Amino acid sequence: MVRVAVIGCGLMGIKIAGDMAYHGHRVKIYDQNPAALDAFHANLEDDKEELKSEGLMTHPNFLGRVLCMSRLEETVNDAEMIFEAVIDDLAIKQDLFERISHLCSPEAILSSNTLSLDMNQVAERAAYKERIMGLRFLHPVYAIPEVEITTTKHTTTNNVEKVRQFLENMGKTLFFRSGREPLILSDKQIESRKLARREQIRRQRGLMGIPDVHIPQLGHMGNIAPPQDDELAVINDHDCAICMDRPRDCLLCPCHHLITCMECAKSLLNRKDFCPICRKDITEILRVFHS
């Protein structure tokens, strides 16, 4: 399990967060718009229903638990991989990368889902430029294996290799942009990849007599996702989901989610924040004693 942070609750932010949870990673998502965070889980449920109807879901609990955070610092402070997916505006992204680079771990990878911006400009004011890169997930994220990478002049090969291994463990293929224009898949190419993914899932379920399917262009038969286990879709049930250090030992009321330690719960209550699971107000904290 990798600790992932997603910045932005727009269309691509939701898809990226869902895909990370699908593969068993612990995900925190942040947006400065509370309404976007409130709608996040409903949007994930819509994705779940769509994947069911298209035969692209391997197990029912793939969404796991994605924590909705209202503070940027708590979203990125322990993240190993950070995916920014806000509006493609250079000034906004420069500000975010500057802030995030000083809030997160010195080892964290920072990436932008930008379509057309120059990553050297995006990273201009950020610290630790060697771990910053562009990572553009192709839509629809759940079915498309390719992820487009654009590096800055400071990005190190070691950090690119970390990302490559992380994505390949999720059954995805990292490729560099060729030329100035980003890769845009046609409807036919998208359908081909969906078909390949459906056939892959059927083979993983042990069905016999299914022919191999050629994944066109950048895909390869080596990018088969590891077997999915429902338990991998849920973050550790014992550690606090916010600090990942102390044990969960309290209930947030009135929703009764057992998701944080007492210290983190007090912090949420004191600043009148919401439950990171369901976004309901917190009115009381009940201590839980484990036998």
Tell me: the pLDDT tens digits for 226-280?
444 333 334 456 888 888 889 999 999 999 999 899 999 999 999 999 999 888 9
Residues with Cβ within 8 Å of 237's Cβ and at least 6 positions away in sequence, in order, are 248
CA–CA separation, 276 vs 255, rounded Å?
A: 11
Question: Which domains does the chain possess?
Answer: 3-187 (3.40.50.720), 236-291 (3.30.40.10)
**pLDDT, tens digit, 9 for 90 and up, residues 69-80:** 999 999 999 999
Closest among 84, 87, 124 to 108, alpha carbons compared: 84
Q: The whole model's pTM is what?
A: 0.82
Count the neighbouring beta carbons within 10 Å of the beta carbon of residue 213. Answer: 18
215-223: which pairs have CB atoms within 8 A and are 24 or more residues apart? 215/145, 216/189, 216/192, 217/189, 218/145, 218/146, 218/173, 218/175, 218/183, 219/145, 219/146, 219/173, 219/193, 220/173, 223/145, 223/168, 223/171, 223/172, 223/173
Q: Give the pLDDT score at 225.
A: 42
Q: Residue 150 has what pLDDT?
A: 93
* Average pLDDT of the residues of the chain: 84
| pLDDT beyond 70 at 210 | no
Exposure string of 269-290, with b = 16+ CB inside 10 Å and e = fewer, is beeebbbbbebeebeebeeeee
- Residues 4-44 have pLDDT tens digits of 999 999 999 999 999 998 888 999 999 999 999 999 988 88
- pLDDT score recorded for residue 63: 53
Structure tokens at 176: 């560099």
Instruction: Tell me how far apart the alpha carbons of residues 54 and 144 are, in angstroms, rounded to a whole number.
Output: 14
